[in-house]
């Protein structure tokens, strides 16, 4: 009986060694935005700020002082982002968008910052931007 325990133990150790890793985790290599030097459209959330270029998948425009957009990058990943006030969101050429002109599928660009809420929000991470721009 003792010999079977040893055989099973050795077999389990071999299986664990075969399935294990060497301790190195593969980090995503980010595409870098030339204008800012920040990661562009990351699949995994990087430390610090990053840039998103994608489309509006959905939006909640109320309150107009802090609208929320779900931005979809080309790979399909989405980010829920709280943006600047609607009157401050412009087209890339500087023209005002107007509240009635926001539609799903609009191309956008934004520099995203990360804020951690307090205990009232369960210490959740929120994505915010102060420079969401609509690209024509």
What 3-state DSSP class applies to 50? Answer: strand
Range 32-135: architecture per CATH: Beta Barrel (2.40)
Token pair in block for residue 45: 């959330």
- Provide the residue ranges of all domains of the chain, joining segments of one domain with +: 32-135
* CB neighbour class for 57 (10 Å; exposed up to 12, middle 13-18, buried from 19): middle
Instruction: Write the CB contacts of 90 (distance below 8 Å, at least 6 apart in sequence).
Output: 96, 97, 133, 134
* pTM of structure: 0.76
pLDDT at residue 81, rounded to an integer: 97
What 3-state DSSP class applies to 80? Answer: strand
Taking residues 114-130, report their average pLDDT.
84
Q: Which residue has the tokens 């079977």?
A: 4
Mean pLDDT of the chain: 88
pLDDT at residue 67, rounded to an integer: 97
């Amino acid at each position: 009986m003792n010999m079977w325990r040893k055989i099973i133990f050795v077999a389990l150790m071999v299986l664990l060694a075969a399935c294990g890793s060497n301790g190195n985790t593969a980090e995503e290599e980010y595409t870098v935005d030339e204008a800012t030097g920040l990661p562009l459209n990351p699949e995994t959330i990087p430390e610090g700020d990053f840039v998103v270029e994608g489309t509006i998948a959905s939006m909640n425009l109320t309150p107009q002082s802090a609208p929320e957009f779900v931005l979809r990058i080309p790979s399909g990943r989405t980010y829920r982002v709280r943006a600047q006030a609607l009157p401050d969101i412009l087209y890339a050429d500087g023209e005002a968008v107007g509240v009635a002109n926001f539609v799903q599928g609009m191309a956008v660009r934004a520099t995203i910052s990360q804020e951690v809420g307090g205990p009232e929000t369960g210490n959740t991470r929120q994505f915010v931007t102060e420079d969401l721009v609509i690209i024509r």
